[in-house]
Amino acid sequence: MRLTILGCSGSIPGPDRAASGYLVEAGGAVLGVDLGNGTLARMQSVLNPFRLDALVLSHLHPDHCADVSALTVLRRYHPDPPYDPRQHRLPVYAPAEAPARLANAYAPHEAERRQTDLGDVYEFHPLGERPVRIGPVTVTAVPVVHPTPSFGLRIEHGGTTLAYTGDTGPCAALDRLAEGADTLLSEACWTDAPDRPADLHLSGRQAGSWPAGRAWAGCW
């Protein structure tokens, strides 16, 4: 299993740094995991976006999904795509509101928003707690704590498990998420300032001190 970090700049992209987005390659399959601001540009430097076999979105805050709009333009209007995207819609595994929320983000004005449907580009599947097979890879979504429906992800192939927290505050679900994982990728950009809400994100200190932290190999 190969993990590529396209961006991990928390909440907003930074200078020459994209927001949250990752590629996971395993068994010949390529999964996009989150697609925040600036990540599609970074993806094109390492991979043709038409190579994606599926896209998994942990939640629908812009820093984790804003570049879905750009990917929509690419798949709809590329002058010379390697295949007909209308015949090969990209599977998107995301919270249940994704079809409407992503259409809202794509539409430029209210009249078009009422008519916008991204179903010609994407095949949407709501995330739930039941594991799903994406080619040779198994993905299990674990609900975590955040102001909007949000999931951590366990991605498994060939006896190897990558766990990803997405955005979450400290919660018991992290133990389930990290249990037996070979690597846990933790979004841990929050500061420890006392005036910051403690239930929105993990800080680096919290990620490193979580009881399951001994099983983690990296925090970003």
Q: Which tens digit of pLDDT belongs to each residue from 22-35?
A: 999 999 999 999 99
Instruction: Identify residue 89 by its one-letter amino acid code.
Output: R
Q: What is the mean pLDDT of residues 109-138?
A: 88
Does pLDDT of 185 surpass 90?
no
Q: Exposure string (b/e) for 107-127, b if CB count within 10 Å is 16 or more?
A: beeeeeeeebebeebbebbeb
Does pLDDT of 201 surpass 70?
no
pTM of the complete model: 0.88
- The C-alpha atoms of residue 148 and residue 145 are separated, in whole angstroms, by 8
**Residues recognised as catalytic:** 63
Domain 2-219 belongs to what topology?
Metallo-beta-lactamase; Chain A (3.60.15)
Q: What is the mean pLDDT of residues 47-62?
A: 96
Q: What is the mean pLDDT of residues 78-104?
A: 93
